[in-house]
Amino acid sequence: MPSIIASMNSKQRKTLEAIFSKPTLATIVFSDIERLLIACGATLTEREGSRIKFGADTHEWHAHRPHPGKEAKKYQIEGVREFLERIGVKP
């Protein structure tokens, strides 16, 4: 989806590249992931406590916002990578 990537700002593009980098990074700030997914057209649904859900088309990604830290865990990065691939977004 080049049009989505073209509409992203440079920070969102860097976050997208970091999500797809191997080995999986554990230094990506979770709020940057949220902003990236919203820029990709996903809708954010707040759930109970720190739970959130992103939806795009028929695909969903469920997560817990990290606390007390702000970085996403490796398994969360891998989950968001799979979600982005399912909705057709790759760097």
Confidence of residue 60 (pLDDT cuts 50, 70, 90): very high
Q: What angle in degrees, to the nearest 10, is found between the helix axes of 30-39 and 74-86?
A: 0
How much of the chain is helix, strand and coil, in % rounded to 5?
A: 45, 20, 35
Question: What average pLDDT does range 7-13 have in this prediction?
Answer: 90
Using an 8 Å Cβ cutoff, are 42 and 6 in contact?
no
The whole-number pLDDT of residue 2 equals: 56
pTM: 0.90
Q: Strand, coil or helix: what is 60?
A: strand
Using an 8 Å Cβ cutoff, are 82 and 69 in contact?
no
